[in-house]
Amino acid sequence: MPRIIHTADLHLDSPFSLLDANKAMARKAELRGTFSNIIAIAKNDNANMVIISGDLFDSEFVTKETIEFMNSQFSSVPFCKFVIAPGNHDCFSDKSAYSKSVFPKNVFIFNRPELQFFNFPDIHVCVYGWAFVKEDMDKNPLVHSINTDPDCINILAVHADTSSSSSKYCPISEEDIARSNCTYAALGHIHEGTEVRKAGNTYYAYSGCPEGRSFDECGKKGVISVDFEKNNFGRWVPTFSYKRVCKRRYEKFNLDITAIGSKEEVLAKIKHEMAKQSLGSDTLLRVVFTGTVDQNVVEASKKISAEDLGTYYLEIKDRTIPLVDEQELLKDITIKGALYRELLPKIKSSDPEESESAKQALIYGLAALSGSDVADF
C-alpha cells in the first residue's frame, strides 16, 4: 500500500523580520526543524514518497548550511523518494540552489515550465508536474489531458493558483484538474491548507504551509498523508489524514476591554481567552484591544509582556476609543474641546493607522493640557 506525504511552502531561509535578531535566528532554525518533523513522519510511517509542491526555499539564494541540512535530511531516508516542483519563490534557474547543488539520488526535481513526469514502477507511482523558471508564470501547462496509466497511481505535483484565472502564479481551474486524469493533485502556493476536494475523478488539496511565519498564517500547520489501496475494481483509491508538524503557531484575537479598570484585569482577561484557545509557550500572539476605555488603563496594559502570558512572542495593537465625556468636550470652549473636536473624525476613521495616530495625539494632548507628565505614557 503506497504512502505519500504532501507538503509545500516551507520557505526555508525566511528572514522573520518581524522578530528581533535572536528570535529571528531561532525561528530560522525552527523552520528547519519543521522539515525534520516531516522527515520523521516519512521515516516512522514508512512513506514511499514526499512531494514538495513548491517554495521549499524562500528565494533562489539559499545558504550553504541550509543545502547541507536538506541533503542530510534527504539522505537519512534513502528508501523514500522526494519529488520537488519549484514555485515562484524558489524557481528553477541557473542561479538557483536546484541548479548549483548536487542532491542525493532519491531527489527528483522538475526543471521546465512544461509538463514533465517521473515514473516509479517499483511503487506503482507516476508523478506529473512542472517548475516555475521565473517569478511569474501565466501559462497553464494543463491545456490538454494527460495520457495517464490506469494501472498506476498518477499524481499531479504542482505549484499553482486555483483562486483566479488571471493569476500570474500559474492559474489552473477545477476543469484543468479534472482533465488531468490523475488520482490526486498535490497543490502548493496557497498557504492556508484546504480540505481534500474532488474534480471529476481527481482528488486535490493544498497542504498549506507546514509552519506559519506571520500573523497572516495563523493556526496549527501540518502535512497531508495519503495512503493508496486498490478497490474491487482495480482502481487506486486514496485515503487522507492530516498531521501537525509545526514548531510554533501564530494566533490573534480581539479583546474588548470596555469598562475594565486596571492592567491586572486586562491580563486576566487575556489569559482567560488564551485558555479557551489552548494557547501557550508555542504561540506567537497578537492581541487587539477594542472598546471604549480609560487610556491610562490602555497604556499600562500595553506593557504586558510575553513573559507575563507564557507565550513565545506577544504583540499588542490598540484599537480602543478613549473614554472621555464626549458631550462635555464637544461643548468645551477651551483648547481641550478644540483639540477633541479636531481629532474626533480621525479617531473614528476606518483607517487603523489614522485612528491610532489620532488617539495617541488626544491622549498626549489631554495629558499635557491637564498638567500630567507626558513622559509617563
Rounded to an integer, what distance in angstroms lies between the CA atom of residue 5 and that of residue 41?
Answer: 8
Closest Cα partner for 60 from 38, 104, 93? 93
Q: What are phi and psi of 156, to 5 degrees?
A: -100, 115
pTM: 0.84
In one-letter notation, the amino acid at residue 361 is A
Closest Cα partner for 156 from 128, 183, 177? 128
Residue found by looking up cell 474641546 in the block: 337
Listed in order, the ranges of the chain carrying CATH 3.60.21.10 are 3-244
Summarised one tens digit per residue, pLDDT across range 163-213 is 998 999 999 999 999 999 999 999 999 999 999 999 999 999 999 999 999
Which of 3.60.21.10, 3.40.50.1820, 3.20.20.70, 1.20.1420.30 is the CATH number of 3-244?
3.60.21.10
Closest Cα partner for 118 from 49, 39, 207, 175? 49
pLDDT value, residue 65: 94
pLDDT value, residue 370: 58
Following DSSP, what letter does each residue of 131-151 receive, concatenated? --SSS-B---S-SS-----TT
pLDDT value, residue 182: 95
Q: Answer whether 155's CB lies under 8 Å from 184's CB.
A: yes
Rounded to an integer, what distance in angstroms lies between the CA atom of residue 268 and that of residue 289?
Answer: 14
- Ramachandran bin of 282, using left for φ above 0, alpha for ψ from -120 to 50, beta for the remaining angles: alpha
Q: What is the mean pLDDT of each run of 10 residues along the chain (377 residues)?
A: 96 89 91 96 97 95 93 97 97 93 96 96 96 93 86 96 94 95 96 95 96 94 95 87 95 94 96 97 95 87 96 92 76 86 88 86 73 47
pLDDT value, residue 199: 96
Instruction: Give the three cell numbers for residue 240.
Output: 487522507
- Measuring CA to CA, how many Å separate 172 from each of 6, 85, 195? 19, 15, 18
Q: Using the CB atoms, write b or e for 116-141: b if 16+ within 10 Å.
A: bebebeeebbbbbbbbbbeeebeeeb
pLDDT value, residue 253: 97
